[in-house]
């Protein structure tokens, strides 16, 4: 086995999810990541846990959304809810063989299904220890304009960090946001102000995402004002939306445009009552990730970027916005951007000043 896979698997089991003896663990994996899934499974067994492996095959999602009718999309899987309520830790290993499998899927079907299973998703996020890992595949390498070998190096370099040290390094940034009231983000075609009064900031360093590296919080739902032009394509369910520009008044998106897939953007924004409001402000802190690869798990962590997510807010931040979607969109601030908290510049041109 590639020793980088073994090392990453150990990080997922021992650091991210902290698997212990007697605990019930579910490992969800795409077939292409079989080696890593089996290594996580082996390590869980060695820790005395009770792991279960669940594999998904390429084409599963496409087939479901193509042929499932409204009744099937609205069916709540009671057995899955029963199982997750009796699970201690969940490890997700994504390894797409076709990153655009759902590109032509009706977004209304995606929204309906996400609404249907929201109780399960909420339970996983709030009640279990969980982590997501993106395993390198040819499909993802092609999206990143890299060879498979280059993308493997990129992935494993992004996770091969001293996560405890990274957490310590950005604790001051977390404290500033934790005590802050007003955040202003400026850059190319961007000037937007968010209120974070009373919200809690989280210093995220490998507990839920791998790779990780961000400090995030939840904006006050009705206080966002201004305009932002996102730098990189916003991707949701395999569909790419380019050159997204959003304008906010009293927290809500009042104007949304895109150079590509604008109709899809507007459909997702209209998913439910909370999908047109922000649920997250995140600041990337992983400077081992320098390149946009069209995979949000990596892209939102790029050191020198910020991301604002439409939809669901994280309750641990004190956010109250509820939605079936959580869609991160990224603004690169490494060339002329600034982040200001309560009048003090804390980041300029992608470099922290605190």
Question: What tens digit of pLDDT does each residue of 44-75 get?
Answer: 999 999 999 999 999 999 999 999 999 999 99
CA angle 15, 17, 18 (to 5 degrees): 60
Structure confidence at residue 217 as a pLDDT band (50, 70, 90)? very high
Question: What tens digit of pLDDT does each residue of 184-206 get?
Answer: 999 999 999 999 999 999 999 98
Distance CA 192, CA 173 (A): 20
Q: What is the pTM of this model?
A: 0.85
Provide the pLDDT for residue 279. Answer: 97
Looking at 137, 160, 183, which one is the last position of a domain?
160
Looking at 160, 190, 207, which one is the last position of a domain?
160
Token readout for 133 is 């890992």
Shared domain for 68 and 211, answered yes or no, is: no
Question: What tens digit of pLDDT does each residue of 87-105 get?
Answer: 999 999 999 999 989 989 9
Shared domain for 128 and 206, answered yes or no, is: no
Structure confidence at residue 239 as a pLDDT band (50, 70, 90)? confident
Shared domain for 152 and 171, answered yes or no, is: no
Q: Which CATH number goes with the domain that contains 52?
A: 3.40.1830.10
Instruction: Give SS3 for 74.
Output: coil
**Chain mean pLDDT for the chain:** 95
Beta-carbon-side half-sphere exposure of residue 84 (alpha carbons within 13 Å): 22
Shared domain for 148 and 260, answered yes or no, is: no
Instruction: Give SS3 for 324.
Output: coil
Shared domain for 225 and 329, answered yes or no, is: yes
Shared domain for 142 and 257, answered yes or no, is: no
Provide the pLDDT for residue 237. Answer: 81
Q: Number of structural domains, the chain?
A: 2
Range of the structural domain that residue 58 is part of: 3-160
Shared domain for 91 and 179, answered yes or no, is: no
Distance CA 334, CA 270 (A): 32
Shared domain for 191 and 275, answered yes or no, is: yes
Shared domain for 182 and 84, answered yes or no, is: no
Looking at 100, 128, 160, which one is the last position of a domain?
160
Nearest residue to 159 (alpha-carbon basis) of 111, 108, 209, 195:
209
Shared domain for 74 and 211, answered yes or no, is: no
């Amino acid at each position: 086995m590639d020793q980088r896979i073994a090392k990453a698997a150990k990080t997922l089991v021992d650091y991210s999810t902290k698997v212990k003896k007697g605990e019930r663990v579910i490992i969800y994996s795409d077939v292409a990541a079989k080696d890593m899934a089996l290594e996580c499974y082996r390590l869980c067994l060695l820790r005395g846990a009770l792991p279960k492996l669940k594999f998904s095959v390429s084409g599963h999602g496409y087939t479901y959304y193509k042929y499932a009718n409204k009744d099937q999309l609205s069916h709540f899987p009671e057995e899955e809810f029963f199982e997750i309520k009796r699970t201690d830790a969940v490890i997700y290993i994504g390894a797409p063989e076709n990153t655009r499998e759902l590109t032509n899927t009706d977004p209304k079907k995606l929204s309906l299904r996400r609404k249907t299973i929201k109780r399960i998703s909420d339970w996983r996020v709030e009640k279990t220890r969980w982590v997501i890992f993106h395993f390198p595949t040819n499909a993802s390498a092609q999206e990143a304009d890299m060879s498979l070998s280059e993308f493997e190096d990129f992935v494993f370099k992004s996770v091969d960090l001293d996560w405890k040290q990274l957490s310590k390094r950005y604790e001051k940034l977390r404290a500033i946001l934790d005590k802050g009231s007003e955040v202003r983000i400026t850059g190319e075609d961007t000037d937007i102000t968010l209120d974070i009064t009373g919200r809690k900031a989280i210093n995220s360093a490998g507990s839920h995402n791998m790779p990780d590296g961000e400090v995030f919080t939840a904006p006050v739902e009705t206080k966002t004002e201004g305009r932002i032009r996102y730098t990189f394509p916003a991707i949701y369910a395999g569909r790419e939306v380019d050159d997204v520009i959003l304008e906010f008044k009293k927290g809500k998106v009042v104007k949304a445009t895109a150079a590509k897939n604008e109709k899809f953007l507007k459909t997702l924004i209209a998913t439910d009552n909370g999908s047109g409001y922000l649920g997250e402000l995140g600041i990337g802190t992983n400077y081992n990730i320098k390149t946009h690869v069209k995979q949000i798990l990596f892209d939102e962590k790029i050191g020198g970027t910020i991301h604002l997510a439409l939809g669901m807010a994280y309750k641990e931040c004190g956010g109250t916005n509820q939605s079936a979607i959580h869609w991160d969109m990224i603004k690169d601030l490494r060339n002329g951007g600034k982040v200001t908290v309560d009048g003090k510049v804390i980041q300029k041109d992608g470099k922290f000043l605190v």
